[in-house]
């Protein structure tokens, strides 16, 4: 479904930012391995810190524009083509609460080759949209890829076959 969604968004002049998940295990594992490999050289990194309600969260945002290795002919049946793929990103969130520390890594793919500062802002905007509707279940919990609206533009709804609407970005490339 992600490849069809990406194709449709690009066809209509938009750009996309997807959260990569384990529903495509080989592709997900490849991206995770790339970011975990010390020999990999990301293009940009940016760190943000939030502290509130007895919790401290440090988020490290890393991006790579080297996506050529993902654009080859299909290498395995699990691989979904991603039209317009221009960037891979990772957010490593380390949360400390009540003297206990946990670290979670989330991986992303985008049709816009942004730097880590902009990537951090886009991911945070995605999180705000997913969590803004009262009583809404974040799309990531439902196993659906998330797509955002551009700041300053009117949100559009993109209806998925599962009858769940998620915000869609008109274009990320205007900035």
Domains in the chain: boundaries: 2-43+66-88+108-168
Distance CA 97, CA 3 (A): 38
Distance CA 30, CA 8 (A): 25
Burial of 108 (C-beta count, 10 Å sphere; 0-12/13-18/19+): buried
For residue 52, name the pLDDT band (cuts at 50, 70, 90).
confident
The residue-averaged pLDDT of 101-105 equals 96
pLDDT of residue 53: 83
Mean pLDDT for all residues in the chain: 76
Q: Is residue 142 over pLDDT 90?
A: no
Distance CA 141, CA 152 (A): 27
Question: Tokens in use for 42?
Answer: 């990301």
Please state whether the predicted TM-score (pTM) of the whole model is above 0.85: no
Q: Kindly report, residue by residue over 59-70, the tens digit of the pLDDT.
A: 999 999 999 888
pLDDT of residue 137: 45
CA angle (63 as vertex; 37, 118 as ends), nearest 5: 160
Residue 129's nearest CA partner among 87, 168, 170, 89 is 168
Q: Is residue 99 over pLDDT 50?
A: yes
Q: How far apart are the first and last CA of the chain?
A: 28
The residue-averaged pLDDT of 143-147 equals 40
pLDDT of residue 79: 62
pLDDT of residue 78: 58
- Identify the DSSP state of 140: G
Task: Point out the least confidently predicted range of 7-21, 33-47, 62-76.
Answer: 62-76
What are residue 101's DSSP bridge partners? 96
Q: Is residue 170 over pLDDT 80?
A: no
pLDDT of residue 7: 81
């Amino acid at each position: 479904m992600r490849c069809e969604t990406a194709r449709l968004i690009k066809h209509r002049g938009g750009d996309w930012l997807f959260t990569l998940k384990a529903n495509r295990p080989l592709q997900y594992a490849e991206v995770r391995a790339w970011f975990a490999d010390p020999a990999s050289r990301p293009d940009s990194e940016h760190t943000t810190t939030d502290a509130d309600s007895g919790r401290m969260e440090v988020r490290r945002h890393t991006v790579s524009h080297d996506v050529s290795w993902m654009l080859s002919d299909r290498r395995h049946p699990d691989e979904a083509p991603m039209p317009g793929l221009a960037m891979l990103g990772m957010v490593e969130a380390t949360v400390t609460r009540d003297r206990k520390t946990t670290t979670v890594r989330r991986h992303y793919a985008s049709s816009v080759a942004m730097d880590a500062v902009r990537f951090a802002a886009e991911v945070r905007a995605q999180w705000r949209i997913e969590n803004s509707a009262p009583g809404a279940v974040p799309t990531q919990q439902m196993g659906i890829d998330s797509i955002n609206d551009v700041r300053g533009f009117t949100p559009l709804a993109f209806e998925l076959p599962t009858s769940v609407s998620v915000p869609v970005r008109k274009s990320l490339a205007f900035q």
